[in-house]
Amino acid sequence: MAKVRFAPEGWIFIIPVIILTAVALLLNSYVIAIILGLAAAFLINFFRDPHRTGSAHHVDVLSPADGTVVVIKDVADGEVWPGLTKQVSIFMSVFDVHVNRSPITGRIIHYRYSPGKKLVAMSHKSSIENEQNLIVMEDSRGVKLAFKQIAGLLARRIVFDKKEGDEIARGERVGMIKFGSRVDIFFPPDVVIKVNMRDKVKVGLTVIAEIGARDEAR
């Protein structure tokens, strides 16, 4: 049986609730114990960090988040980063894994944190107006993509564990967003999108796009 892993950021929430549940049981406060127990179960589920091994093919882009595809569209060149004109957005509900992982193997060439609002993550305005991190990566072929960690209505903190200049591997943990959020991914125009609207995707496992596959076929 595979070992269940949890995001380290979660223990500060999980442990106190478990302790309070035990105290409530010792005091025979069963209703409070049930409520706290349900809260503990929710937190344990929320902060799980399952080990997944996705495709290692260099043209494959793995999903950086668990969730549901809510946007597939074209964007203006330079709106997010020069040369990136395709967008896929993934909405993360409170029941999804909230650990984020690198979609490709490459180097972080740009990182920017922007404070902002906490609009509902399903809103298109959230991609521009909400608190967010922008991460731009470049692989060994010179191919670039970008992704945003975007805070939602319930999100209280965006965690990003890497820095500009870091080399990271496809599927490597890069951070998480606590309590409901969204991740946007931006691609060059020759990308082949492999998901459809409302598809459920898995972080580090689902192939959401192929970059450079057409060049290889020539």
Active-site residue list = 181
Q: Cα(173)–Cα(164) distance, rounded to whole angstroms?
A: 15
How many helices (H) and strands (E) would you count in the chain?
4, 14
Residues forming a β-bridge with 69: 90
Give the C-alpha separation, 164 to 169, whole Å: 14
Q: What is the SS3 assignment for 140?
A: coil
Residue 94, both tokens: 């409170």
**Which runs of consecutive H residues, i.e. helices, occur in 47-200?**
126-129
Q: Which amino acid belongs to residue 94?
A: V
How many residues appear in the chain?
218
CB 14 within 8 A of CB 43: yes
**What is 1-45 written as a DSSP string?**
-PPP-B-GGGHHHHHHHHHHHHHHHHTT-HHHHHHHHHHHHHHHH
